[in-house]
Amino acid sequence: MRRALGTVAIFLAAFVALGFLLLPIVAIFVHTGPGHLLSQLTSPAVVDALVVSVKASVIAQALVLAFGTPTAYLLASRRFAGRSAVITLVELPLVLPPAVAGLGLLVAFGRNGLLGSTFEVLGVSIPFTQTAVVLAVTFVASPLYVRQAIAAFESVDASLVAASRTLGAGSTRTFFRVILPLARAGLAAGFALSLARGLGEFGATIMFAGSLQGVTQTLPLAIYAEFDRNFDATLAMGALLVAISAALLLSLKLSALWHGSRQSSRSRSDLLSWS
DSSP per residue, the chain = -HHHHHHHHHHHHHHHHHHHHHHHHHHHHHSS-HHHHHHHTTSHHHHHHHHHHHHHHHHHHHHHHHHHHHHHHHHHH---TTHHHHHHHHHHHHHS-HHHHHHHHHHHHSTTSTTHHHHHHTT---TTSHHHHHHHHHHHHHHHHHHHHHHHHHTS-HHHHHHHHHTT--HHHHIIIIIHHHHHHHHHHHHHHHHHHHHT--HHHHHHT---TTTT--HHHHHHHHTTT-HHHHHHHHHHHHHHHHHHHHHHHHHHHHHHHHHHHHHHHHHHHH-
Query: What confidence score (pLDDT) does residue 2 get?
Result: 75
Residue 27 in any domain: the answer is no
* Per-residue pLDDT reduced to its tens digit, 165-216: 888 888 888 888 889 988 988 999 999 999 999 999 999 999 999 999 999 9
Query: What confidence score (pLDDT) does residue 161 get?
Result: 85
Residue 37 in any domain: the answer is no
Structural domains counted in the chain: 1
Residue 36 in any domain: the answer is no
Residue 151 in any domain: the answer is yes
Residue 157 in any domain: the answer is yes
Q: Mean pLDDT over residues 29-49, rounded? A: 85
The model's confidence at residue 162, banded by pLDDT at 50, 70 and 90, is confident
Residue 123 in any domain: the answer is yes
Residue 115 in any domain: the answer is yes
Q: Which domain holds residue 261?
A: 44-266
Does 272 have pLDDT greater than 60?
no
Domain CATH for 248: 1.10.3720.10
- Between residues 141 and 271, which one has the greater pLDDT? 141
Residue 10 in any domain: the answer is no
